[in-house]
Structure 1
């Protein structure tokens, strides 16, 4: 089954085409990430799929329903965490999430439980304007999930979170997905996408450049393997003499062997008893991202 069906979606602002003829499908129960540099069109794409922004061309169906004009039948079935959070002023965290919950007919006990799940139980009586950026982000996510939606949209959900909070949120999102919910998120964290997502769409200049599993994207890059041998274990000359080594470098962590035949090179290192302290680095999703979108600075 398809949770999201997007066909030829386009959005323009004067001379700028923010989203350019995007077509994609997301299956029910999938966890999909959308990656891209600043200004790639990620947020605009999500807002059109969510029914928050009218497309100039193309169609969107979510859970079998058209999203535009605004479809009130979809609102109880989806959860949305926006990039910029807006809360009712002068309410505490508890009052805030209970208010959101009441809009969906969800009881206070369930709302309070979500505060605990995102680690804000001790901040329940704190006014939202007194929360830190990371705490406000977690409250925003809890508000998006409080009514147990079938489909969840999260726009950079772990921005402003410390490493511990990020990891805890990963566990929460994984558990939600494991229960059969569909999750779509945008993120700038490659490790986050690689760990959480079933498939990843890399977007730039309003277009989807690649859409596949993280592993398939990395395989398609055909990046060389870098094998680092501990300092003193091997000289650069000895490393260069190993069959299959294409390039040798030296760094603070030891001698670096660049190869496209890692099995043969590791076998040679094992035969020479040079495996102690060896590290192996293959291509990563970040390598894919940079290969597709370039390295220039984006404001």
Structure 2
């Protein structure tokens, strides 16, 4: 029996949140989305996203597991590494701190009355601080990706599409990997990074662009579509948060920044916890 209703925590600038939201949209499963987790989830796993509750059940994360519970499949051994490659360039999102924070300020809350939405929007500022500092850490330790890195990563998907010879990686309809790869594209387009030009113009990626066009036609009424501004067929960007939510976000950001003696150690604590669980994508330190 399909789920009746799903609650989702996560911001649509995350590729993994995007993958889950794409799956829910494709299956037409009723759901709502909040951009700051319930207190019990925050105390357990911080701002790690996505986290979902299916039909009022316990909260759990991991986009692959969630999508499999929704009935998607098709992920093969080695796909996670290729998906990580498709996310090359993600650390470039913090090249402009202003752009990074401003784009997050435009994410709209979709559930609850105005006071509840404003509170979650203000609290979201800690989520933004968490991801900003984490991406900065990753970029400083492992370097930012250049256009050549992104080209090589997506050429692997070009070869996969040529091998399959169908419209989607799943054949005649998207599978789990289609959703996660398209989620990666939304990530790149939601806070634009320079390497995105590779996907738009590189002559070695015609099948990738055809696949993007097929996914955008299929999801043309998807409300979290960022790639429609950069790729054909053109589609409108997501509706921006109303003014009162943006004001709430920036007030929360001021408090988060002024509270650095508390918020930065809290970021470090949660970041170490997520890293030790293997969900950050960083290698563990080796003991000498």
TM-score of the pair, normalised by structure 1: 0.28
**Larger relative strand fraction:** 1
Q: RCO greater where, 1 or 2, for CA within 8 Å and sep 6 or more? A: 2
Larger radius of gyration: 1
